[in-house]
Structure 1
């Protein structure tokens, strides 16, 4: 049988296996509050037919330009939400994660490294495990796809002499730049191949990489904010709030089972490699990129998704040298692959259909969000200014339908200046209480966690009425 058909069947089977596993285990749609504001931003852009340069929702949003780097992703989320709803979006998330895993697998297999299939599947399993824990419908998914795409095309150019591969990078850059601030990673990927070309004195490759680097750099300027997109991206990376957001913190063992397991496997395999072998069976580019993202992941756990994607060849190469040779291999016939694929898709679709019919919230995750409280506030106190928890901001934007003017949300440095972010940090550090901040801002109400409310002074509490009591939060309205 044609080898292309075999690869196609393998990829299809892998996709359906991943789809089935993510159907059972992927995180709920609203695990991360940023998903909510991405949908709302897409709604706003679609209705107004323009991209806002200042925040239309927060009462402090006019103090800094809003660098909405992800506007293209936001429109996509809004369109899909209007088309298929929240349950449909949860299925879209499952499809996205499955496609990413399948694409990473195919990209690695296409390199034809002399490493065992067992090592490839172990690295893929570690990647899948990570996405089960942190895979959210956020524009980081675009970066995951683009990282794999860039690595694949640069590999084909440098090692397989496929000069046409570079022609696809500018268009990919255009999509990446208008979808996620992670587009800055393209400079790291180009830099690695440039360094290798310089080291190997490959003058032809040096010229072509310089040319495509300039082209991609100019392409990044094709966006609503032009050169300011770099300011917006850097605002994400260097604002004062970074140290207080979990996903930006340095790695420590045990904070996440998927991060810790990936790191542990690398340590064990690395020790075995160091003891018994002298070289990896992968190209220098994959070794350098994997090592770079491993270091970046230790500095900030947000980079673990990039490590899992870009570092798959690196992980597979190290694991391969520490695995014994497989004595018994399992080979499925094409008929078996087809049958398994059909069964997996039937079961997966049935599970999603059951969740939709029974209106089960498991894959959506709104049971942990005070949606009714937010809607009550919007309906009964429209136009009111509200002090809120950082993680509730995105939900207030989406479920408040723009009727509430909130304080802060997950856009952090891309939408809020340092003064506002420092006030938020002061609240976290208890330098100033939530209710004191509310008085300072002269707001109409406060959405406050019950545990935080208990810590507020009795004198401050007297100025507020509890008008709504949800499972975890109070809505306080100022006494007149």
Structure 2
């Protein structure tokens, strides 16, 4: 190889590295979506339970409505990885797991799009659009593995990789997340050469498909795991399909992706661009990626949780057209553009912390869980059946390992039947007879968010029966117990930790003692400067005291820790 060729290749490597670095920084800046990561807790508890029982075939020990039933945990490998990471690096460090998987996924997508477009700017732009539309759904859950596996699958398809590589991918995928079914649907699209169809290609596609299906059968529940997502997808009347994340994107409630509907016109625009004479002379319509895009669009319109897959599918379909359109911006002459993107990413990332503790606190809405109430229950050895808020079920599993058995939790249809979920929904909505349903469930305790609009009325109704009493009333949660339930008097206060002090500050503020609330919140912030509730209590207390300037300064200090929209 000549010196000129070597220099040219080195220049290409430098160019690729510059665009990859710019993409990584920009992608990371989209990794700060705040949401209540309620599933994370029971995934952690699931990993611990597998190791404690020494088995992948678990019977439920965490609820009182499905106790002893077979829990078909098709994400068992994810649970072990979660728990192993948590044990090795700490709970807060799970934000690094999220960012690593996210960067691997969208960095891999950027590389894939470059192969399809031949343009670094086009690859980065489309990968960025795919991530921007998906960002509201990027939380600490195993579904991130499905996004990553989808990108890996597309790479294998372009490489015309041997069967064993596809089979290995599906062997891992089926034990990480139920999205492997989507992978099986996409597999024929990436294998079959639509531009050069032949019987030999069809036979190869069928053989590869059967091999990957066989790999998917290697899981603790065999064919049942393969059939379960299909059955669920075809049961349009399943009440679990009414959980907010499964609703179509135009219905209210649940996670919203503001860019989704704005991005839809890009599909017909890209399709029309393939028929423009300047483009047709260079490209033929990639049927496989068009079908991938249409499949993911249909899925996204059925359920908003599939919007991230549509973002990937749309980017892949549009990549060749964007490559033609942005071809003039490629090459080492335009490395200044990569530098500009890098600067933009750094500016976007600048307000956010890379430290795990504050990032974890906000990205999982750690402050919304009943830490203090559970501390009190465990300190006083309160055990039994707890009718708890749905999103808190996994947290109780993590903290009590079944000593506080719940009515229902986020494991949903992998364990619970339709009747159990529908009964919970009627209680949640306050439908007539809700209290009778709580008591008919056999619950010994009732654990409910203190800040829900209907909580005060619920407490009054339960106390009016003469069969319940308030055991703990905090700023985050209210705990009631049946009168028949033995409760120590007085209650042990539990550990003197940050949650206890946050609870005290919130109660002082609610009682009108703004001075005490402001002092307690300030003391908390000296040790945990990012604590959201302490920030809000301090700001509210100072405003009540007429110290508006001090309140604004306090909130600015908190937003420097994390610029959350929930700091008010």
**Residue aligned with 1:385, SS:** strand
Structure 1 residues 178 and 471: alpha-carbon distance in aligned structure 2, compared to 1, 3 A threshold:
same
Moved more, 136-145 or 376-385: 376-385
**Residue aligned with 1:331, SS:** helix
Match of 2:38 among 1, 20, 33: 33
Does the 8 Å CA contact 2:62/2:402 hold for their aligned counterparts? yes
Structure 1 residues 454 and 441: alpha-carbon distance in aligned structure 2, compared to 1, 3 A threshold:
same
Match of 1:135 among 138, 154, 159: 138
Structure 1 residues 416 and 101: alpha-carbon distance in aligned structure 2, compared to 1, 3 A threshold:
same
Aligned to 1:249: 247
Aligned to 1:192: 189
Q: Any runs of at least 4 consecutive aligned residues in structure 1 with deviations exceeding 6 A, and if so which?
A: 253-258, 318-321, 323-330
Does the 8 Å CA contact 1:174/1:219 hold for their aligned counterparts? yes
Structure 1 residues not aligned, in runs of 5+:
158-163
Between the aligned partners of 2:169 and 2:360, the Cα distance in structure 1 is: 37
Between the aligned partners of 1:81 and 1:212, the Cα distance in structure 2 is: 37
Match of 1:476 among 455, 477, 480: 480
Aligned to 2:468: 464
Between the aligned partners of 2:193 and 2:261, the Cα distance in structure 1 is: 26
Aligned to 1:217: 213
Between the aligned partners of 2:89 and 2:471, the Cα distance in structure 1 is: 35
Identify the structure with bigger relative contact order (alpha carbons < 8 Å, sequence gap 6+). Answer: 1
User: Cα offset for 1:89?
Assistant: 0.9
Aligned to 1:373: 373
Structure 1 residues 275 and 212: alpha-carbon distance in aligned structure 2, compared to 1, 3 A threshold:
closer
Aligned to 1:171: 168
Does the 8 Å CA contact 1:250/1:300 hold for their aligned counterparts? yes
- Superposed, 1:13-162 pairs within 5 Å as 13-14=21-22, 16-18=24-26, 20-22=28-30, 25-28=31-34, 31-62=36-67, 64-111=69-116, 113=117, 117-157=120-160
Number of corresponding residues: 462
Structure 1 residues 180 and 380: alpha-carbon distance in aligned structure 2, compared to 1, 3 A threshold:
same
Per-residue CA deviations over 1:87-120 (Å, capped at 9, x if unaligned) read 2111221122112110011012123x36x65443
Does the 8 Å CA contact 1:371/1:399 hold for their aligned counterparts? no
**Residue aligned with 2:293, SS:** helix
Per-residue CA deviations over 1:54-107 (Å, capped at 9, x if unaligned) read 222111123742110000010000000011112211122112211211001101
Match of 1:288 among 278, 291, 296: 291
- Structure 1 length-normalised TM: 0.84
User: Cα offset for 1:210?
Assistant: 0.8
**Residue aligned with 1:456, SS:** helix
Aligned to 1:9: 17
Between the aligned partners of 1:151 and 1:304, the Cα distance in structure 2 is: 18
**Residue aligned with 2:123, SS:** helix
Aligned to 1:160: none
Between the aligned partners of 2:384 and 2:457, the Cα distance in structure 1 is: 25
Structure 1 residues 169 and 55: alpha-carbon distance in aligned structure 2, compared to 1, 3 A threshold:
same
- Structure 2 length-normalised TM: 0.72
Between the aligned partners of 1:263 and 1:102, the Cα distance in structure 2 is: 24
**Residue aligned with 2:84, SS:** helix
Between the aligned partners of 1:418 and 1:109, the Cα distance in structure 2 is: 46
Does the 8 Å CA contact 1:142/1:176 hold for their aligned counterparts? yes
**Residue aligned with 2:481, SS:** strand
CA RMSD of aligned residues (A): 3.6
Aligned to 1:161: none
Structure 2 residues not aligned, in runs of 5+:
1-6, 485-568
Structure 1 residues 253 and 332: alpha-carbon distance in aligned structure 2, compared to 1, 3 A threshold:
farther
User: Cα offset for 1:300?
Assistant: 0.7
> In terms of Rg, which structure is larger?
2
